[in-house]
């Protein structure tokens, strides 16, 4: 695993981009930056075993390098399933295709995977029993989020499952300050310097736009999901499940 030193080596004020440099260090970046990330991926596999039905589609929207894709694939126990993994970033798509191809070669899994270079907002959702948005919605324009959620709901089968993981902000300003400080301390314990933390925070400003948990749950309700729950929260990172 290549160590993430992107914000140690650059002083640029460029916004965060999912480019080749990020793709090369992305697993390390996630592991050290997002508390609870490994637990989220593990749970996606367990949820796939429970909710994915035979002869249906699964979607990994904003798939990056395909961690959620492979977790779903490993968890699926039903025949005739197909996973569609979607991302807009060429560097992410290229590396994801390589990772999926290697998984195909090593394990010859029954569930097929299609890695697609496309905008998640323009991706048709059809016959879906499981959809994953793992830290994806936060990078979309606010005006596009409701429409995407309705599109997902409309394309899902009854009983289908959505996994939505996001960075959030707390409604209480004092608690939000505490949670941000705890997250930065988490990064420091994972050997990010204060300079790296500051630079990455600046790079993500106006690129990653977080919302409250209440806003996410209201959007899911408005889209039609009848049951939602926060199954994991670690500081200001949450994962929500919703059932159609």
pLDDT digits (tens, 9 = 90+) for 209-243: 999 999 999 999 999 998 999 999 999 999 999 99
Residue 11 scores a pLDDT above 70: no
Contact 72, 48 (CB under 8 A): yes
Higher pLDDT, 5 or 132: 132
pTM of the model: 0.95
Residue 194 scores a pLDDT above 80: yes
**How confident is the model over 83-113, as pLDDT tens digits?**
999 999 999 999 999 999 999 999 999 999 9
Q: Tell me which residue has tokens 């707390």.
A: 170
Please state the length of the chain: 244
Lookup: tokens for 129? 């029993």
Lookup: tokens for 8? 């140690």
The pLDDT, as a whole number, for residue 125 is 98
- Architecture of the domain defined by 1-244: 3-Layer(aba) Sandwich (3.40)
Domain residue spans of the chain:
1-244
Contact 49, 39 (CB under 8 A): no
User: Which letter does DSSP use for residue 54 in this model?
Assistant: T
Residue 206 scores a pLDDT above 90: no
Q: Rg of the Cα trace of the chain?
A: 18
Give me the mean pLDDT over the 72-81 stretch.
Answer: 98
Q: How confident is the model at residue 168 (pLDDT cuts 50, 70, 90)?
A: very high
């Amino acid at each position: 695993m290549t160590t993430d030193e992107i914000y140690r080596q650059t002083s640029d004020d460029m916004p965060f981009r999912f480019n080749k440099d990020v793709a090369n260090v992305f697993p390390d970046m996630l592991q050290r930056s997002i508390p609870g990330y490994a637990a989220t991926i593990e749970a996606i596999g367990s949820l796939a075993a429970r909710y994915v039905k035979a002869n249906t589609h699964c979607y990994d929207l904003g798939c990056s390098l395909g961690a959620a894709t492979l977790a779903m694939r490993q968890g699926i126990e039903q025949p005739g399933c197909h996973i569609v993994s979607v991302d807009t970033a060429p560097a992410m798509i290229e590396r994801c295709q390589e990772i999926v191809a290697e998984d195909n070669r090593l394990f010859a899994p029954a569930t097929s995977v299609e890695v697609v270079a496309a905008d998640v907002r323009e991706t048709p959702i059809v016959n879906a029993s499981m959809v994953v948005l793992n830290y994806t919605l936060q990078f979309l324009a606010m005006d596009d989020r409701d429409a995407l959620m309705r599109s997902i709901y409309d394309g899902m089968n009854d009983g289908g499952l959505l996994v939505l993981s996001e960075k959030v902000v707390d409604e209480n300003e004092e608690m939000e300050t505490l949670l941000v400080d705890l997250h930065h301390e988490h990064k420091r314990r994972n050997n990010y310097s204060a300079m790296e933390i500051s630079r990455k925070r600046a790079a993500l400003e106006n690129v990653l736009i977080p919302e409250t948990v209440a806003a996410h749950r209201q959007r899911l309700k408005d889209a039609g999901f009848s049951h939602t729950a926060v199954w994991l929260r670690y500081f200001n990172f949450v994962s929500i499940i919703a059932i159609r």
